[in-house]
Chain A
Amino acid sequence: MSRPQALDDGTMQSVSPVTAPVLAVKDFSLTFKAGAETNLVESVSFSVSPGKTLCIVGESGCGKSVTSLALMGLLPSPPARIVSGTAEFNGRNLFAMPERARADLRGNEMAMIFQEPMTSLNPAFTVGQQIAEGIMRHRDVSKGEARAEALKMLEWVRIPAPEKRLDAYPHQLSGGMRQRVMIAMALANRPKLLIADEPTTALDVTIQAQILALVRQIQAETGTAMILITHDLGVVAEVADDVAVMYAGRIVESGPVEAIFGDPQHPYTIGLFGSVPSLGRRQGRLATIKGAVPPLDLMPKGCRFAPRCPLADSRCHDEVPPTVPFGDGHSAACWYAPIEQTMEARQ
């Protein structure tokens, strides 16, 4: 299959209708070490529109969690420091807002679900108290009303016997139930943006599917925008509208899910997805690529993937590759994109 045909595909153009994004991140860089030459997250840009799902994929440690925490304003600073970039949330730059204003957004217009359902709920308070607390923080409601609303949320996330669970403590619930509670808590104030950081990784496979189905259905019902961080390519194929592939703190390729699966352009993406790119449900996690991500202080000046890339040459090591657009929002950061032309030229 060749790329221009994929671009001409009519269905692909309809994937991203032109609406103002809920969140637009531009040139975001982050470091944990003062004065470090290499940023942990470097020049990351992406955006997500109402009702759409952006999946961020990439190996463990590539900076997905710190990026989402930084957007939520939950990274301790110091040591974390935002070196550059803007994050326009409904037109307002999150990074320029005072802390109090960001706290007003958190759990209200933007919410987050974490990877660790077992430890993310406070063991000292009941589930009902913890959900109601977030409702009362952002809405002018009485305790009784907040409790009633918390009950509604528990029903909504399909927790069996919700009246009973309302007064349960987290330790009395299973991991799957706790994650449902986290989802109820995150959605209680109908956020415009939901960030889900590997929400099913810590759960059993059958529970994973249930939680994912729940998240999708809720998103369909509320029209919230979602950033879903995941390792599971099957999940990406199923729920993503757009995909951003991260490698060592950089986005190496991004675009509509069809383009990423059907026509990957970055050597790292191609490696991740294995040799046969095809759309449809895939099982399993990301494929492994030979070698390891170099530590930050040994990161090459140029392309961060160079030490593991079969195509790398000296320019790749020394100069940061440009982000090459292929149209329709699909782009890859590689000196040799579009890759088919390179391969043809080399033969």
Chain B
Amino acid sequence: MLKIIARRVFVAIPTLVLVTLIVFGLQKILPGDPLLTMAGEERDPQVLAFLREKYRLDDPFHVQYLAWLGNVLTGDFGNSLRTGVPVSTLIAQKLPVTLQLAVMAIIMAMLIGIPAGIIAAVRKGTVTDYAANAVALSGMSIPNFWLGIILIMIVSVQWRLLPASGYVPLTEDPLQSLRTMLMPSFVLGTALAAYLMRHTRSAMLGVLTSDYIRTARAKGLLPKTVILKHALRNALMPIVTLSTLLFGELLAGAVLTEQVFTIPGFGKLIVDAVFTRDYAVVQGVVLCTAVGFIFMNLIADVLYILINPRLRHPQ
């Protein structure tokens, strides 16, 4: 089994290299000369020359790339072109925020989506099934920012139950931190729950008609055991894979939701960076997100192996 996992890790390496190449290469072909931004209004030729030297802009592409990659590997993503703060510092500040939001949102999505999918599959063709599908469809089509605003108006403004915005670090005040993140993660979670519900439903439908489910019932097992043990265990793979990938997407930050709830996460960082043409920050965040996504893919692969006895115990 370790060999299979090692192989998956190995296969991920070319993808990583490709991603760094793209991130680095894109920067080169982006319009606008970042040096001009950095050199300020005067555009002193000496300053420009110094900067060209510093960023090795006269070296061939592969030399530039390797130098950059070397820095990235040591955790040096360069400095913000605007504020001069190291990009790694910015990322280290925002990552916990985005991570907490992503974890809470995916838990929310799984808590809603998986049970709903199971129930819809078991009650296939009944009112419950249609209702679950209708709710899922609206979950997918209601924009997050709209749901966020409505929730703020009702839950925060009218009922005064939860804070409308902001961010409290988990380490500072855990309860308040969870309370602040509850609404944004619910907004993100419900949207994803819809996808999870539909995938869970179709995976369960596929499994429920299989011969071994009939065998489980022939043993006299009660519906609860048949569905939650024998069927769900086999429907789990697509559910786990999807959950992992959705989580990877959440790591990229949720631009609109973060905006609505004024959460200082990745989404806000990247939007601010894009609007101020702070390419160094954009590059760092994009790279981080891409690596995070590749990592989640790897996790999905490993979980797949762990869940599947056929892969765990080859013949």
Tell me whether chain B's interface is mostly helix, strand or loop, or mixed: helix
A265 contacts B by Cβ under 8 Å: no
Complex-state Cα separation, A107 to B218, whole angstroms: 6
B residues 117-155 in Cβ contact with A at 8 Å = none
Tell me whether chain A's interface is mostly helix, strand or loop, or mixed: mixed
CB distance from A184 to the nearest CB of B (A): 12
Among B212, B220, B222, which residue has its beta carbon within 8 angstroms of that of A123? Answer: B212
Complex-state Cα separation, A313 to B222, whole angstroms: 51
B215 contacts A by Cβ under 8 Å: yes
Check A106 against B234 for contact (C-beta < 8 Å). no
Interface segment among B57-65, B95-103, B279-287, B307-315: the answer is B307-315
Check A133 against B219 for contact (C-beta < 8 Å). yes
Complex-state Cα separation, A168 to B312, whole angstroms: 12
Among B220, B222, B230, which residue has its beta carbon within 8 angstroms of that of A122? Answer: B230
Interface segment among A109-117, A279-287, A303-311, A324-332: the answer is A109-117
B179 contacts A by Cβ under 8 Å: no
Check B219 against A137 for contact (C-beta < 8 Å). yes
Check B218 against A122 for contact (C-beta < 8 Å). no
Among B215, B220, B221, B310, which residue has its beta carbon within 8 angstroms of that of A171? Answer: B310
CB distance from B250 to the nearest CB of A (A): 28
Q: In the complex, what residues of B have CB within 8 A of residue A108's CB?
A: 220
Complex-state Cα separation, A100 to B222, whole angstroms: 8
A134 contacts B by Cβ under 8 Å: yes
Chain B residue nearest to A112 (CB atoms) is B218
Q: In the complex, what residues of A have CB within 8 A of residue B220's CB?
A: 103-108, 134, 137-138
Chain A residue nearest to B233 (CB atoms) is A124
B residues 159-173 in Cβ contact with A at 8 Å = none
CB distance from A315 to the nearest CB of B (A): 42
Inter-chain contact total with CB atoms closer than 8 Å: 75
B residues 2-57 in Cβ contact with A at 8 Å = none
Check B216 against A103 for contact (C-beta < 8 Å). no
Complex-state Cα separation, A125 to B226, whole angstroms: 13
Check A124 against B218 for contact (C-beta < 8 Å). no
Q: Mark B201-215, 1 if CB is under 8 A from A, else 0.
A: 000000000111011
Once A106-B220, A134-B219 are accepted as A-B contacts, the answer to whether A122 and B212 lie under 8 Å apart by CB is yes
Complex-state Cα separation, A133 to B310, whole angstroms: 21
Q: In the complex, what residues of A have CB within 8 A of residue B212's CB?
A: 119-123
A residues 124-173 in Cβ contact with B at 8 Å = 124-125, 133-134, 137-138, 168-169, 171-172
Chain A residue nearest to B214 (CB atoms) is A74
Q: In the complex, what residues of B have CB within 8 A of residue A182's CB?
A: 215
B277 contacts A by Cβ under 8 Å: no
CB distance from B36 to the nearest CB of A (A): 61
Check B218 against A123 for contact (C-beta < 8 Å). no
B residues 259-313 in Cβ contact with A at 8 Å = 307, 309-310, 313
Chain B residue nearest to A138 (CB atoms) is B220
Complex-state Cα separation, A182 to B214, whole angstroms: 12
**B positions within 8 Å CB-CB of A:** 210-212, 214-222, 230, 233-234, 307, 309-310, 313, 315
A-B contact pairs, 8 of them (CB 8 A): A108-B220, A114-B218, A119-B210, A120-B212, A122-B212, A125-B233, A169-B310, A172-B315
Question: Ordered nearest first, which 3 A-B pairs have the shortest CB separation?
Answer: A107-B219, A106-B220, A107-B220
**A positions within 8 Å CB-CB of B:** 72, 74, 100, 103-108, 111-112, 114, 116, 119-125, 133-134, 137-138, 168-169, 171-172, 182, 185-186
